Structure 1
Amino acid sequence: MRLKRISLIISVLLIPFSLLGQHGGETLFGVLQLTPSARINALGGHQVGLYDNDPSLALFNPAMADSSFHKNVSVGFSPYIADINYGYGSLAWNQPGLGTFFAGVNHLGYGDMIMADVNGEIQGNFTASETVVFLGYSKKLSSHWTAGITFKPVMSTIESYNSWGIAVDAGVHYRHANGRFHAGALLRNAGRQISTYADGDAESLPPDLQVGFSVKLAHAPFRFSVTGRDLLSGSLDYEIPENDFGVNVSQPESANAGFGNLLLRHMVFGVEFVPSNNFYVAAGLNPRRRQELKVDSKVSSVGYSWGFGFRIYKFHFSYSSARYHLASSSNHFSITTNISDF
């Protein structure tokens, strides 16, 4: 009885993330699918070729960390969807001749939930949460190339049940001599579940291959970013497995989509207005999010995101908002500073 109730809870909790993953209803550790950086979120949630002096970018692509990140500290918070909250903190440190190290933690809390048996009788409350630790390193290979890797132990707790695993990010970053063109490639979240919530076989985590670039115009304060994501998952078709809990999720229509539509779902687009190093305004489009989470009768701004950032005194503040569904948007806040300034 108790195990069946917990299984139902797990299925419901994973629905929002399964819609964004490549295996419907089967995604492990939803916290790994989230992007801590407010700036990346403003640009559609995935931009592997974007470079700036923001340590939170290294939590997405470790190759973005370099000597300019030395002693940078970043913290952030997001009131997510359906009373779910998550936040992060990170610190970077450069060791001359050795490379740049960074560490961080991202915690996702689902809040208090009501515990009931199969007859609907209230048994009390319980909580659920997921936490991932970032341990990363990057090394400059040449004047143009940097490579990085991040190890990410992750723990998930639902009521009295626990599961943990480990994921790895490996990326490269290319910087053109003109300083305006950057490109990157990232293999994200390759790993495996080590222990399960209950009896059962541990599962592998589906890796996400991403390739992208950003380019800033030479004579105008605009930067454009494009990233291709889920490049290992083909058409992005998925099936929702049958279940005994009455949880029904609509299948995507990608099976009937044309090649151009399918290609578009692998892409994420972003644009920034950057008149100075102390201010920016950004906007993004995530076509896959828009296609899979839209309501046909009223598409509205689903899939779009926007944000801005500015510097006051010794602190950089960033904010972004992403529209996931007509019913809700997510907001992201972050603050960055350098501890050597104090």
Structure 2
Amino acid sequence: MILPFGYKAESKRNMRKLIILIAVLAFVFPKAFGQIGGENTYEFLNLTNSARMAALGGNQIAINDSTDLNVSYNNPSLLRPDMKNMLIVNYVDYFAGVNYGYAAYSFSTPLPGNFAIGMHYINYGKFIEALENGEKTGANFTAAEYALNLIWSHQYKRLMYGINLKPILSSYETYQSVGIAADLGVSLFSKNKHTVTSLVARNIGTQITTYYDGAERESIPFDLQLGISQKLQHAPIRLAATMQHLQKWDLSQPKEVKTGTSVVITEDSFGNKLMRHLALGVELLPSPNFTIRAGYNHQIRQELRLEEKMSTVGFSWGFGFRISRFHINYGSARYHLAGSSSLISIALNLNEDFKRNVVREEEVVE
């Protein structure tokens, strides 16, 4: 591939700008760097967006697959030039009438880099309006949240880097809030293209307007992640692992254990604290048109289990298949004994030369 004069110098400058941007945002929004779930607004930003990710433990940031635009949601640096003119639609029938989804489209422009635009939403359903004393007014109201995704990526040799800018709108009845967040990602590909290592800083940003006048701005769910994937050289298997919430070591809560008449406070072991950061996934690739997946998330298992019966909480599975231009994925994740969550993803390749240029998953632009 012949590069225009000044390409390498420009790419180096872009990399320096990205590193400086991460440092500046960490300084401007320091409060976000110590927060995890349950302490923030816009928690819907952490929901698993696609069936594939649900099947692989909820989140993987180092999957190299030019046929799946969904991977750029988890890591914007994975947006590839051969993803252009791809359309994806994801839908999740969540719990208690709640549903959410994500749709995106990738396209080319005269500008340097790769571009995609998407919309992430969650619909909490309809609610019956009532006064403070519980008296129903006879009216209904709705609640929903939205995040526009503006994704850009670029490449320098075997290194790719990208950003996902996310304007946010949250609406609960007459209460509304506007915010802004950004995901920054960097990925390094091995020479044989089978190993990918990625670093992602998700949801760096702030709440711009609060839900009501005089309220303090709330933090948003920042998450620093490190991931790796390995496609085996002589077997149709890909292994993936992602470390989440690296900004905070201990994700556990102290437990009270009764011993006779006294109560003892216990903490997780070092190994258990380490495992809480891990999301593990494996893909079996018997053919280019069919994939079987499984995953495990230790944090989900520990937080949502019942002591009497743990069952398969924290485990997930799924599959994917291709039919011509369509790529369909299904994922099922067990979050609680009360039931599982099912996710469906549909991707459509809109390129006119689709049949003449079938791109393999492991290909990376040189």
Global fold match (TM > 0.5)? yes
In the alignment, is residue 163 of structure 1 matched against residue 177 of structure 2?
yes
CA separation in 1, counterparts of 2:144 and 2:333?
22
> What is the Cα deviation at residue 340 of structure 1?
1.7
- Give 2:105's aligned amino acid: L
Write the mapping of 1:177-192 to structure 2, written as runs, cut at 5 A: 177-192=191-206
CA separation in 1, counterparts of 2:186 and 2:289?
26
1:306/1:96 Cα in 2 relative to 1: closer, same or farther (>3 Å)?
A: farther
**Who is 2:68 aligned against?**
54
- More moved, 318-327 vs 197-206: 197-206
Q: 2:330 aligns with which of 319, 324, 332?
A: 319
> What is the Cα deviation at residue 36 of structure 1?
1.4
**Who is 1:220 aligned against?**
235
Q: 1:309 aligns with which of 307, 317, 320?
A: 320
Q: 2:106 aligns with which of 72, 88, 92?
A: 92
- More moved, 96-105 vs 268-277: 96-105
In the alignment, is residue 78 of structure 1 matched against residue 92 of structure 2?
yes
**What number of residue pairs does the alignment pair up?**
308
In the alignment, is residue 202 of structure 1 matched against residue 213 of structure 2?
no
Give the TM-score, by structure 2 length: 0.80
Unaligned runs of 5+ in 1: 1-20, 240-252
In the alignment, is residue 235 of structure 1 matched against residue 246 of structure 2?
no
- Give 1:220's aligned amino acid: A
In the alignment, is residue 340 of structure 1 matched against residue 351 of structure 2?
yes
Deviations 1:15-39 (A, max 9, x none): xxxxxx9546422112201121221
**Who is 1:134 aligned against?**
149
- Give the conservation status (yes or no) of the 8 Å contact 1:23–1:238: no
> What is the Cα deviation at residue 287 of structure 1?
0.1
- More moved, 325-334 vs 288-297: 325-334
> What is the Cα deviation at residue 337 of structure 1?
1.3
Deviations 1:44-99 (A, max 9, x none): 11111112120111111100001111111111111012211011110112347711
Unaligned runs of 5+ in 2: 1-33, 255-263, 355-366
CA separation in 2, counterparts of 1:257 and 1:219?
39
> What is the Cα deviation at residue 237 of structure 1?
4.5
Does the residue aligned with 1:204 lie in a helix, a strand or coil?
Answer: coil
Give the TM-score, by structure 1 length: 0.86
Deviations 1:125-154 (A, max 9, x none): 211000010001000111x11000010011
Does the residue aligned with 2:351 lie in a helix, a strand or coil?
Answer: helix
In the alignment, is residue 31 of structure 1 matched against residue 48 of structure 2?
no
CA separation in 1, counterparts of 2:80 and 2:283?
22
In the alignment, is residue 330 of structure 1 matched against residue 337 of structure 2?
no
CA separation in 2, counterparts of 1:237 and 1:206?
17
- Give 2:154's aligned amino acid: K
> What is the Cα deviation at residue 262 of structure 1?
0.2
1:217/1:23 Cα in 2 relative to 1: closer, same or farther (>3 Å)?
A: closer
- Give the conservation status (yes or no) of the 8 Å contact 2:160–2:186: yes
- Give 1:167's aligned amino acid: A
> What is the Cα deviation at residue 255 of structure 1?
5.8
- More moved, 43-52 vs 128-137: 43-52
1:238/1:297 Cα in 2 relative to 1: closer, same or farther (>3 Å)?
A: closer
Does the residue aligned with 1:182 lie in a helix, a strand or coil?
Answer: strand
Query: Rg larger in 1 or in 2?
Result: 2
Deviations 1:264-288 (A, max 9, x none): 0011100110122211110110000
1:25/1:48 Cα in 2 relative to 1: closer, same or farther (>3 Å)?
A: closer
CA separation in 1, counterparts of 2:120 and 2:37?
24
In the alignment, is residue 295 of structure 1 matched against residue 295 of structure 2?
no
CA separation in 2, counterparts of 1:205 and 1:194?
11
- Give 2:239's aligned amino acid: F
